[in-house]
Amino acid sequence: MALLLCFFLSLVISSATACDRCVHQSKAAYFSKASALSSGACGYGSLAVGFNSGFLAAAIPSLYKDGAGCGACFQIRCKNANLCTKGGTRVIATDLNRNNNTDFVLSSRAFAAMARQGMSQDILRQGIVDVEYKRVPCDYKDRNLAVRVEESSQKPNYLAIKVLYQGGQTEIVAIDVAQVGSSYWTYMSRNHGAVWNTSRVPNGALQFRFVVTSGYDGKWIWAKSVLPADWQNGVVYDSGIQITDIAQEGCSQCDDGSW
């Protein structure tokens, strides 16, 4: 898997410059209804509202990546210097934006946060603005990567999990599950968004390993003990680990660190 990833990424990167962060030019709009984001394609549901103080975004398919882009963080600023701050705001992707006029549709809170002090009504009135943005690492401070057992799970035959609080600047491309202490791994499939599933559920307490993009290829991240033997639907379990890796991107304009 790592080799395959390496091959794939070197193909992508060789035609452009590899860097930690690419800068992209686009436009952004905002959702007039806050509820639009809690029903987002990533499947975070009402949990999304609690992420990143509600600074959320729907991202176009090339960023959503069939769900692998769920939970990715972006720094985004509007280009009108009279209206907006240089720093912009930081958002987390929780939904798919199917409208191809803008790369992002932001929560109104995030959209307004791009404005200078006292100008949030002015930016909201514009509705759509020119922006530039870059992917940045997600930082959950002292919080670990977590796994939530979805309500659709049916012990012992079906397990669906949602991955929460994914740090770093990577994508999870595969997840395997095994009983704690066992090396008999079974793979999970991406159900949709941040939700993964399997019908081959090991018995007992469960460990997970995640394949994430990192550097120029990929790596395994191993969470040795995550679900207790009596795992319950609807409960969030701490994985005991966090991801801090950065995957290189290929792009025409690298971030020069000026914002």
Ligand X SMILES: *[C@@H]1O[C@H](CO)[C@@H](O)[C@H](O)[C@H]1NC(C)=O
Contacts with ligand X, residue ranges (CB under 6 A): 100, 189, 191, 197-199
Nearer to ligand X, 29 or 243 (CB): 29
Rounded Cα–Cα distance for residues 252 and 126 (Å): 29
Quote the least distance from Cβ 180 to ligand X, whole Å.
Answer: 22
Nearest 5°: phi and psi at 111? -60, -50
User: What type of residue is 88?
Assistant: G
Q: Concatenated DSSP letters for 162-183? A: EEE---BB--EEEEEEEETT--
Helix (H, G, I), strand (E, B) or coil at 151: coil
Nearer to ligand X, 64 or 140 (CB): 64
State the nearest-atom distance from the C-beta of 175 to ligand X, in Å.
12
Q: Name the amino acid, one letter, at 247.
A: A
CB closer to ligand X, 51 vs 231? 231
Q: How far is the CB of 194 from ligand X (least distance, A)?
A: 13
- Checking 16-19 for CB contacts under 8 A at 24+ apart, the result is 16/250, 16/251, 16/252, 17/250, 17/251, 17/252, 17/254, 18/216, 18/248, 18/249, 18/250, 19/248, 19/249, 19/251, 19/254, 19/255
Q: Which is nearer to ligand X, 197 or 248 (CB)?
A: 197
Residue 108, helix vs strand vs coil: helix
Q: Work out how close the CB of 13 gets to ligand X at its nearest, in angstroms, rounded to a whole number.
A: 24
Report the residue number, 102 or 166, with the smaller CB distance to ligand X: 102
Q: Measured at CB, which residue is nearest to ligand X?
A: 199
Q: Is 26 helix (H, G, I), strand (E, B) or coil?
A: strand
Q: Minimal distance in Å, beta carbon 71 to ligand X?
A: 19
